[in-house]
Amino acid sequence: MALDIIYEDEWLVAINKPVSMLVHPGREKEPDDQIAMKALRNHLGHYVYILHRLDRPTSGVLLFAKNQKAQSKLSIIFQERQIKKRYFALVRGVTPDKFKVDLPINRAHDEIPRPSLTDFKTLETTRIEELNESFSLLDCKPETGRIHQIRKHLESEGHAIMGDYLYGDIEENNAFAEQTGIKRMMLMSRLLAFKHPYTDEDIRIELSCPEEFTKVFK
Protein backbone atom coordinates (compact mmCIF):
# COMPACT_ATOMS: atom_id res chain seq x y z
CA MET A 1 0.00 0.00 0.00
CA ALA A 2 1.53 3.33 -1.10
CA LEU A 3 1.93 6.01 1.56
CA ASP A 4 0.44 9.47 1.09
CA ILE A 5 2.84 11.84 2.88
CA ILE A 6 1.09 15.18 3.40
CA TYR A 7 3.68 16.99 5.59
CA GLU A 8 7.36 16.50 6.31
CA ASP A 9 10.21 18.50 7.81
CA GLU A 10 13.41 17.74 9.73
CA TRP A 11 11.54 16.62 12.84
CA LEU A 12 8.00 15.59 11.85
CA VAL A 13 6.15 13.69 9.18
CA ALA A 14 2.40 13.24 8.60
CA ILE A 15 0.54 10.81 6.38
CA ASN A 16 -3.02 10.48 5.17
CA LYS A 17 -3.78 7.15 6.83
CA PRO A 18 -6.11 4.98 4.77
CA VAL A 19 -8.98 2.98 6.21
CA SER A 20 -7.95 -0.50 7.46
CA MET A 21 -4.35 0.49 8.23
CA LEU A 22 -3.20 -0.01 11.83
CA VAL A 23 -1.15 2.73 13.51
CA HIS A 24 1.14 0.25 15.30
CA PRO A 25 1.46 -3.56 15.51
CA GLY A 26 -1.43 -5.35 17.19
CA ARG A 27 -1.89 -8.80 18.61
CA GLU A 28 -2.22 -10.43 15.22
CA LYS A 29 0.68 -10.46 12.78
CA GLU A 30 0.10 -8.07 9.85
CA PRO A 31 2.16 -7.21 6.74
CA ASP A 32 4.38 -4.14 7.21
CA ASP A 33 2.44 -2.18 4.58
CA GLN A 34 -0.71 -2.53 6.71
CA ILE A 35 0.93 -0.92 9.77
CA ALA A 36 1.49 2.84 9.46
CA MET A 37 4.51 3.00 11.74
CA LYS A 38 6.32 0.18 9.90
CA ALA A 39 5.32 1.32 6.42
CA LEU A 40 6.57 4.85 7.11
CA ARG A 41 9.76 3.53 8.71
CA ASN A 42 10.47 1.41 5.65
CA HIS A 43 9.70 4.33 3.32
CA LEU A 44 11.96 6.81 5.13
CA GLY A 45 14.69 4.33 6.00
CA HIS A 46 14.70 5.10 9.71
CA TYR A 47 12.55 4.64 12.81
CA VAL A 48 9.55 6.91 13.47
CA TYR A 49 7.81 7.63 16.77
CA ILE A 50 4.07 7.54 17.44
CA LEU A 51 2.48 10.76 18.74
CA HIS A 52 -1.22 9.86 18.65
CA ARG A 53 -3.51 7.16 17.36
CA LEU A 54 -6.41 6.68 14.99
CA ASP A 55 -8.75 3.70 15.07
CA ARG A 56 -8.16 1.21 12.26
CA PRO A 57 -11.38 2.14 10.41
CA THR A 58 -10.65 5.90 10.76
CA SER A 59 -8.74 7.61 7.95
CA GLY A 60 -6.91 10.92 7.74
CA VAL A 61 -4.12 13.00 9.25
CA LEU A 62 -1.68 10.96 11.32
CA LEU A 63 1.47 12.60 12.70
CA PHE A 64 4.80 10.99 13.65
CA ALA A 65 8.06 12.29 15.09
CA LYS A 66 11.37 11.48 13.41
CA ASN A 67 13.39 11.26 16.63
CA GLN A 68 12.85 10.83 20.37
CA LYS A 69 13.49 14.49 21.24
CA ALA A 70 10.82 15.62 18.80
CA GLN A 71 8.50 12.95 20.20
CA SER A 72 9.03 14.28 23.74
CA LYS A 73 8.32 17.87 22.71
CA LEU A 74 5.22 16.99 20.69
CA SER A 75 3.91 14.64 23.37
CA ILE A 76 3.75 17.59 25.76
CA ILE A 77 1.76 19.57 23.19
CA PHE A 78 -0.71 16.69 22.88
CA GLN A 79 -0.93 16.13 26.64
CA GLU A 80 -1.51 19.81 27.37
CA ARG A 81 -4.13 20.04 24.61
CA GLN A 82 -2.19 22.68 22.72
CA ILE A 83 -3.03 20.98 19.45
CA LYS A 84 -6.24 21.47 17.50
CA LYS A 85 -7.88 18.32 16.16
CA ARG A 86 -10.85 18.24 13.80
CA TYR A 87 -12.72 15.37 12.18
CA PHE A 88 -15.38 14.82 9.54
CA ALA A 89 -18.15 12.39 10.49
CA LEU A 90 -21.18 11.25 8.50
CA VAL A 91 -23.99 10.23 10.84
CA ARG A 92 -27.53 8.97 10.80
CA GLY A 93 -30.30 11.54 11.28
CA VAL A 94 -30.62 15.32 11.24
CA THR A 95 -28.38 16.90 13.87
CA PRO A 96 -28.65 20.36 15.49
CA ASP A 97 -26.65 23.16 13.86
CA LYS A 98 -24.28 23.08 16.83
CA PHE A 99 -24.20 20.81 19.86
CA LYS A 100 -21.85 19.67 22.59
CA VAL A 101 -21.52 16.27 24.26
CA ASP A 102 -20.10 16.18 27.78
CA LEU A 103 -20.07 12.50 28.62
CA PRO A 104 -17.38 10.74 30.74
CA ILE A 105 -15.77 7.74 29.05
CA ASN A 106 -13.92 4.75 30.44
CA ARG A 107 -11.49 2.59 28.51
CA ALA A 108 -12.63 -0.61 30.23
CA HIS A 109 -15.75 -1.52 32.21
CA ASP A 110 -13.81 -1.68 35.48
CA GLU A 111 -12.29 1.81 35.05
CA ILE A 112 -13.72 5.04 36.43
CA PRO A 113 -15.08 7.13 33.52
CA ARG A 114 -12.93 10.15 32.71
CA PRO A 115 -14.25 13.60 31.67
CA SER A 116 -14.78 13.77 27.88
CA LEU A 117 -16.02 16.70 25.81
CA THR A 118 -16.66 17.08 22.07
CA ASP A 119 -18.07 20.03 20.12
CA PHE A 120 -20.04 19.30 16.94
CA LYS A 121 -21.13 21.51 14.05
CA THR A 122 -23.46 20.38 11.27
CA LEU A 123 -22.06 21.19 7.83
CA GLU A 124 -24.73 19.66 5.62
CA THR A 125 -27.73 17.35 5.70
CA THR A 126 -29.36 15.17 3.07
CA ARG A 127 -31.99 12.50 2.70
CA ILE A 128 -31.75 9.19 0.87
CA GLU A 129 -35.32 8.26 -0.02
CA GLU A 130 -34.43 4.64 -0.83
CA LEU A 131 -33.35 4.23 2.81
CA ASN A 132 -36.11 6.46 4.21
CA GLU A 133 -33.40 8.14 6.28
CA SER A 134 -31.61 11.48 6.62
CA PHE A 135 -27.88 11.93 7.14
CA SER A 136 -25.68 14.73 8.46
CA LEU A 137 -22.08 15.68 7.77
CA LEU A 138 -20.42 16.96 10.95
CA ASP A 139 -17.30 18.88 11.88
CA CYS A 140 -16.14 17.30 15.15
CA LYS A 141 -13.84 19.04 17.62
CA PRO A 142 -12.72 16.79 20.50
CA GLU A 143 -11.60 18.79 23.54
CA THR A 144 -10.28 15.63 25.21
CA GLY A 145 -8.70 12.49 23.77
CA ARG A 146 -10.45 9.41 25.12
CA ILE A 147 -10.62 6.12 23.29
CA HIS A 148 -13.46 6.05 20.72
CA GLN A 149 -14.56 9.44 22.06
CA ILE A 150 -16.27 10.81 18.95
CA ARG A 151 -17.85 7.44 18.16
CA LYS A 152 -19.23 7.01 21.68
CA HIS A 153 -20.43 10.61 21.97
CA LEU A 154 -22.35 10.47 18.70
CA GLU A 155 -23.87 7.09 19.53
CA SER A 156 -25.04 8.50 22.89
CA GLU A 157 -26.93 11.23 21.01
CA GLY A 158 -28.66 8.77 18.70
CA HIS A 159 -26.51 9.76 15.73
CA ALA A 160 -24.13 6.84 15.25
CA ILE A 161 -21.45 7.17 12.59
CA MET A 162 -22.35 5.30 9.41
CA GLY A 163 -20.24 2.21 8.93
CA ASP A 164 -19.44 1.98 12.65
CA TYR A 165 -20.25 -1.65 13.38
CA LEU A 166 -19.12 -1.38 17.00
CA TYR A 167 -21.46 1.40 18.12
CA GLY A 168 -23.93 1.65 15.24
CA ASP A 169 -26.77 -0.51 13.96
CA ILE A 170 -25.63 -3.47 11.84
CA GLU A 171 -28.71 -3.58 9.59
CA GLU A 172 -28.65 0.18 8.98
CA ASN A 173 -24.94 0.07 8.17
CA ASN A 174 -25.46 -2.81 5.75
CA ALA A 175 -28.34 -1.02 4.01
CA PHE A 176 -26.29 2.20 3.73
CA ALA A 177 -23.34 0.30 2.23
CA GLU A 178 -25.56 -1.51 -0.26
CA GLN A 179 -27.33 1.66 -1.37
CA THR A 180 -24.28 3.97 -1.60
CA GLY A 181 -21.49 1.49 -2.33
CA ILE A 182 -19.52 2.98 0.60
CA LYS A 183 -18.07 0.22 2.76
CA ARG A 184 -16.10 2.06 5.44
CA MET A 185 -16.63 3.85 8.73
CA MET A 186 -17.40 7.46 7.89
CA LEU A 187 -14.98 9.14 10.29
CA MET A 188 -11.91 11.05 9.11
CA SER A 189 -9.18 13.02 10.88
CA ARG A 190 -9.16 16.16 8.75
CA LEU A 191 -6.95 18.63 10.65
CA LEU A 192 -4.06 18.93 13.08
CA ALA A 193 -2.93 22.47 13.94
CA PHE A 194 -0.22 23.39 16.44
CA LYS A 195 2.80 25.58 17.07
CA HIS A 196 5.98 23.87 15.86
CA PRO A 197 8.17 23.03 18.90
CA TYR A 198 11.40 23.85 17.03
CA THR A 199 10.59 26.63 14.57
CA ASP A 200 7.71 28.24 16.48
CA GLU A 201 5.72 28.32 13.22
CA ASP A 202 1.97 27.78 13.16
CA ILE A 203 1.56 24.39 11.49
CA ARG A 204 -1.75 23.44 9.90
CA ILE A 205 -1.99 19.98 8.33
CA GLU A 206 -5.37 19.72 6.66
CA LEU A 207 -7.23 17.45 4.25
CA SER A 208 -10.30 18.27 2.21
CA CYS A 209 -13.51 16.29 2.55
CA PRO A 210 -13.05 13.06 0.57
CA GLU A 211 -15.30 11.95 -2.26
CA GLU A 212 -16.69 9.08 -0.19
CA PHE A 213 -18.30 11.69 2.07
CA THR A 214 -19.36 14.29 -0.49
CA LYS A 215 -20.93 11.77 -2.89
CA VAL A 216 -23.70 11.17 -0.34
CA PHE A 217 -24.83 14.77 -0.81
CA LYS A 218 -24.82 14.82 -4.62
CB 1 within 8 A of CB 40: no
Instruction: Tell me if 181 is assigned to some domain.
Output: yes
93 and 104 co-located in one domain: yes
Instruction: Tell me if 136 is assigned to some domain.
Output: yes
78 and 166 co-located in one domain: no
180 and 200 co-located in one domain: no
pTM for this predicted structure: 0.93
What are the tens digits of pLDDT across the range 34-47?
Answer: 899 999 999 999 99
- The model's confidence at residue 26, banded by pLDDT at 50, 70 and 90, is low
pLDDT at 134 over 80: yes
Q: Which of 55, 102, 164, 202 is catalytic?
A: 55
- The model's confidence at residue 162, banded by pLDDT at 50, 70 and 90, is very high
26 and 98 co-located in one domain: no
90 and 30 co-located in one domain: no
The question of whether 200 is a catalytic residue gets the answer no
100 and 144 co-located in one domain: yes
- 3-state SS, 3-64, equals CCEEEECCCEEEEEECCCCECCCCCCCCCHHHEHHHHHHHHHCCCCEECCCCCCCCEEEEEE
pLDDT at 9 over 80: yes
CATH number of the domain that residue 199 is part of: 3.30.2350.10
Instruction: Tell me if 216 is assigned to some domain.
Output: no
123 and 195 co-located in one domain: no
Split into its structural domains, the chain has a count of 2
- Sign of the torsion angle spanned by Cα atoms 127, 206, 6, 77: negative
- Residue 198 sits in which domain range? 5-83+191-209
